[in-house]
A = this chain, B = another copy of it.
Amino acid sequence: MTETRYERGARALSQIDGAAGENVVAALADIAPDFARLLIEFPFGDIYSREGLSLRDREIATIAALTAMGTATPQLKVHIEAGLNVGLTRAEITEVLMQMAVYAGFPAALNGLFTAKEVFAERGV
């Protein structure tokens, strides 16, 4: 009865990213369906499904990294929403974003905060 990597990944993707994650997978269907499968299998089936770090902690790491990189606004949006899905509060996410001013500069933090503002408005939090 062992779950495959794909099944485990699809379950994790749905739990963490919800509809936003499924939209990404759907958007890949015509251009790179294999990449949709790899996206489910490796990040979600292999990494997020690991024990040893809670999903809440994993989303802190992801939100911080994407904000610092500054090149992944659509994915940051998905993961701010994911953070809310797995138990981070709006206030905690805001703290993570503000802290990025120290490591990646004020523009990175500002762009992260304005992305969060959009997500919070859409979610009504």
A10 at the interface (CB under 8 A from B): no
Q: Is B35 within 8 A of A109, CB to CB? A: yes
Q: Is A64 an interface position by the 8 A CB rule?
A: yes
For chain A residues 87-112, which have a beta carbon within 8 Å of chain B? Answer: 91-92, 94-111
In the complex, whether A62 has a CB less than 8 A from a CB of chain B is yes
Chain A positions 43 through 83: 1 when the CB is less than 8 Å from some CB of chain B, otherwise 0: 10011101011000110111111111111101100000000
A28 at the interface (CB under 8 A from B): yes
Q: Let me know if A30 is at the binding interface, CB within 8 A.
A: yes
Q: Does A1 contact B (CB under 8 A)?
A: no
Say yes or no: A58-B94 contact (C-beta < 8 A), given A27-B114, A71-B108, A74-B111. Answer: no
Residue in B closest to A89 when the chains form the complex, CB atoms: B52
**A108 CA to B31 CA, complexed, in Å:** 15
